[in-house]
Amino acid sequence: EPRRQWFRKLADFRLFLPPRHFEGISAAFMDRLGHQLEDMLLSCKYRGELCGPHNFSSVFTKYGKCYMFNSGEDGKPLLTTVKGGTGNGLEIMLDIQQDEYLPIWGETEETTFEAGVKVQIHSQSEPPFIQELGFGVAPGFQTFVATQEQRLTYLPPPWGECRSSEMGLDFFPVYSITACRIDCETRYIVENCNCRMVHMPGDAPFCTPEQHKECAEPALGLLAEKDSNYCLCRTPCNLTRYNKELSMVKIPSKTSAKYLEKKFNKSEKYISENILVLDIFFEALNYETIEQKKAYEVAALLGDIGGQMGLFIGASILTILELFDYIYELIKEKLLDLLGKEEDEGSHDENVSTCDTMPNHSETISHTVNVPLQTALGTLEEIAC
């Protein structure tokens, strides 16, 4: 019965035709044209617990309608994990529905020949830019994606080229390279075509298929090739990105093919051509920091100059002090020699003056000894000499 309902829904072409009073492309119209997650999502587990379409939110990119897991939109709480490794992240099984792909009648710049899905891992504050930053996941395989958070810090001018101040974007609250590019492309298309593509934000009317083919796509090509200076999006000074390591195994195995055929009521050929399993998990619950440093700061320059000056000036001062010390020692030695000579002369003068005191002694003697005066004077003269 569910299969019959699905065929009835698929056979009702009115669901895919524009309304009778069609005024142009709308988000609701594009939403109905895209693959519906309810039909694509065969199983979903996060940290071993069941999840479903309600954990995803739709978003439009250049590829059309996409789905974003753990977006945090509409007040939904962000899901976290407490362990790294497989089984502790998101594991989904998808049916890519190749039978609903549009046939290719000719080759254009937008023609794609691959089958599968494209996936991008990004932060909640950064809009998806899956056409350039996404990686492919092929049907018939289980793809394991081990990711690790990486935080990058760049320097503003004049040391680097990052944008230190938040640039006011018209359509996004947080600056990022992808937000800047989408913002710039939107303004360029609106200015030149008076409409916007379905993945572009804003309130301008969506481009009709004629406007899309004749104006919007050529304008984007011109913007990318010739008018590259119009969109100059510098790297923010703080950036978060996620490194990825991919590995894959073939599904289904010979032992599981019959079980999956019975479970999904699909043939083994259909399963190998349309069903894939995607397992995304953190390699470890840590992050890598890459920080840009100044090659030579002014403080380091002054410190090096001061160190060199201190080295050489310090050596010169030591030499001068040693010279002063030598002169001091030399003068000291001379002065000591001079003082030594003066002390010797002073000692000789003191001996003579001692003899001068003898007259007092002679007077005493002259009182006690009776000698002739002439003889006493002569004796005194001899003593004086």
Q: Which helix (H) or strand (E) holds 381?
A: helix 373-384
- Of all residues in the chain, the percent with pLDDT exceeding 90 is 44
Around 171, how many Cα atoms within 13 Å sit in the side-chain half-sphere?
19
Distance CA 78, CA 75 (A): 9
* Per-residue pLDDT, 330: 87
Check whether 156 has a pLDDT greater than 60: yes
For the chain, give the mean pLDDT: 81
Q: How far is CA 348 from the centre of its chain?
A: 93
First to last CA, the chain: 160
Q: What is the rounded average pLDDT of the residues 204-220?
A: 89
Q: Is 4 helix (H, G, I), strand (E, B) or coil?
A: helix
Within 10 Å of residue 292's Cβ, how many Cβ atoms? 14
Say if residue 288's pLDDT is above 70. Answer: yes
Rounded distance between C-alpha atoms, residue 381 and residue 355, angstroms: 11
Per DSSP, the residues of 331-359 read: HHHHHHHHHHHHHHHHHHHHHHHHHHTHH
pLDDT tens column, 110-122: 677 889 999 999 9
Instruction: Express each pLDDT in 366-379 by its tens digit.
Output: 444 443 433 333 33
User: DSSP string of 118-181?
Assistant: EE----TTS---HHHH-EEE-TTEEEEEEEEEEEEE-PPTTT---B-SPP--SS-SS--HHHHH
Question: pLDDT band for position 312 (50/70/90)?
Answer: low
Q: Is the pLDDT of residue 353 over 80?
A: no
Q: Does residue 278 register a pLDDT over 90?
A: yes
> What number is the average pLDDT over the span 47-51?
94
Return the structure tokens found at 96. Answer: 């890519």
The Cα 50–Cα 44 span in angstroms is 6
Per-residue pLDDT band at 348 (split at 50, 70, 90): low
Which of residues 313 and 182 earns the better pLDDT score?
182
Q: What DSSP assignment string belongs to 197-239?
A: -TTS-SSSPBPPHHHIIIIIHHHHHHHHHT-GGG---PPBSEE
- How do strand 275-291 and strand 141-153 relate by DSSP bridges? parallel
**Residue predicted with more confidence, 279 or 164:** 279
CA atoms within 13 A on the CB side of 53: 11
> Residue 342 burial (CB < 10 Å; 0-12/13-18/19+)?
exposed
Higher pLDDT: 2 or 90? It is 90
Give the Cα separation of 243 and 148 in Å (integer): 5
Tokens of 324: 């002063």
- Element holding 235 (H helix, E strand): none
pLDDT of residue 163: 79
| pLDDT higher than 50, residue 67 | yes
What integer pLDDT is reported at residue 375 of this predicted model?
Answer: 38
One-letter amino acid identity for 210?
E
Q: What is the pLDDT of residues 297-311, one digit of tens each?
A: 777 777 777 777 666
pLDDT digits 0-9 by tens, 238-272: 999 999 999 999 999 999 999 999 999 999 999 99
Mean pLDDT of all residues in 322-340: 83
* Mean pLDDT across 88-96: 96
217 against 342, higher pLDDT: 217
CATH 2.60.470.10 fits 14-143+255-276, yes or no: yes
Residue 169 has φ and ψ, to the nearest 5°, of -90, 155
Is residue 179 a contact partner of residue 164, using CB atoms and an 8 Å limit? no
Instruction: Calculate mean pLDDT across residues 181-208.
Output: 92
pLDDT of residue 298: 74
* pLDDT computed for residue 228 by the predictor: 64
Q: How far apart are CA 96 and CA 102, in angstroms?
A: 13
Residue that has been written with the tokens 């309130």 in this structure: 203
pTM score, whole prediction: 0.70
Provide the residue ranges of all domains of the chain, joining segments of one domain with +. Answer: 14-143+255-276, 298-384
Rg (CA), the chain: 50
CB 88 within 8 Å of CB 281: yes
